[in-house]
Structure 1
Amino acid sequence: MQFHKYQGTGNDFVMIDDRAKVFDETNQALIARLCHRRFGIGADGLILLRNKPDFDFEMVYFNADGRPSSMCGNGGRCTVAFAKFLGLIDSHTRFLAVDGPHDARVDDNGTVHLRMIDVEPAQEAEVGEEDVFLHTGSPHHIHFLDPSESPSLAEFNVFAAGHDIRYDQAYDPAGTNVNFVEVPADPAQPWPVRTYERGVEDETLSCGTGVTAVALAASQRGAASPVRLRTMGGELEVSFEHRPDGGFANVWLSGPAVRVFSGMVA
């Protein structure tokens, strides 16, 4: 079986061209092994690209633990880059993901712009005063760190704090992804973000739906569209429009999506 490895700001994926639909998506142990960083290829998730009537393709996403998951923004951008590599699309595309149809485009410099779903108004989270919740195709808890507090985001224990919130009873039974954000002195500057992802059960270098949620929440703290966000793996940008009801429309996630290598699995 041939595979391709892609990454979007350090969020990495095993990509498989499954237009012939021969991959056994029920084999969670196989998916988990392929994603394992010691015994497999190593990735935050695995993505199948499949044919879909009325669309250019379908994206089928699995977490690193082998289970099907909700939408992955960086994974979506990488799938668009993969489709272009395969010659399925040119610069524009419309594809289907688990949360519905998505439009996307690829610039000449390799930047992939992905239109996300419309997002409902931010909700106050139940686990802290500086916390909000947004669903951007995947569920995201957002915690804003006070710049005067210690430790700083760079020294923050994302694994411990993220694990506790991910499994907080407020989010039973499915859990949530958790984002920790340092508020910049100038909201026009990049907003530093670190994310604990469910399914990976650890911090990842970047999370597309996570930075989307952070950008929308940051807009209520002085940030204007487009918002730049700095992850451990690089910079992303999110643009959006405010809806009259407090929600968000025309949400776009933009950033690089890079093919790292290809290979064969016996």
Structure 2
Amino acid sequence: MSETPGPTDAAPLRADCGNCFGLCCVALTFSVSADFPVEKKAGDPCHHLRDDSRCGIHDRLRTQGYQGCTVYDCFGAGQRVSQVTFGGRDWREAPGTAGQMFAALPVMRQLHELLWYLTEALTLVPARPVHAEIRPVLAATERLAGSAPDALLEIDVAAHRARVNPLLLRTSELVRAEVRGKKKNRRGADLFGARLKGADLRGADLRGAYLIAADLRGADLRLADLIGADLRDTDLRGADLTGSIFLTQSQVNAAKGDSGTAIPTALVRPAHW
């Protein structure tokens, strides 16, 4: 089994905070929880956001209780909204655009997440039978992401996702078929706190599974489909996620791992591991 290389030409789908106007620090809501120590309404800047759009406590977010900030990933939506959709106009300098800009971020993030999945699907050799169908849908998703502000806010992302999902499902089936024998189907399963240490989950369907605080130490997750799986506080120390498909940076950031955790090359090992 070869390792999934991850999306090619993925730079636009990776967060580039230096080219964003701190949108996630303003547009999103914070609720007091294990992820945030304070309440913050959508549209209100976090009090740690500096005038240069940088975070004043970036190097100590977790110790200050802002774990949610270290988990969040915008798939590059922040810099696209900032530099492309709104042409590089900072919401501070053009306050009339602020509300629309903040509303655009979650829409763009969803579109960029779909772009990540579709782009990854085109790198997967076993999925070649559906590549011809994926390419026009990828192009259509890119066109939607390139919409003007007014049009962007009118996009029915759920309807477009419904068009994309069958292709991702077929991709998953083709890739996971590379693993011989019967594979576990735990799609959408409630595996909260499950004891799965050392489990053989090669080629498993874990789409949308709730793996919160599950023990997956040393588990074999090669070629498993992890799209939408909730990996908050999932213990992945020593686990092998080589070639796992549709795994995202935010999922990895939310989990617990160590130097022995093998992740796809397209993703970055979190600093807190």
Could you state the TM-score of these two structures normalised by the residue count of structure 1?
A: 0.26
Indicate the structure with greater helix content: 2
Could you state the TM-score of these two structures normalised by the residue count of structure 2?
A: 0.26
Structure of higher CA gyration radius:
2
Indicate the structure with greater strand content: 1
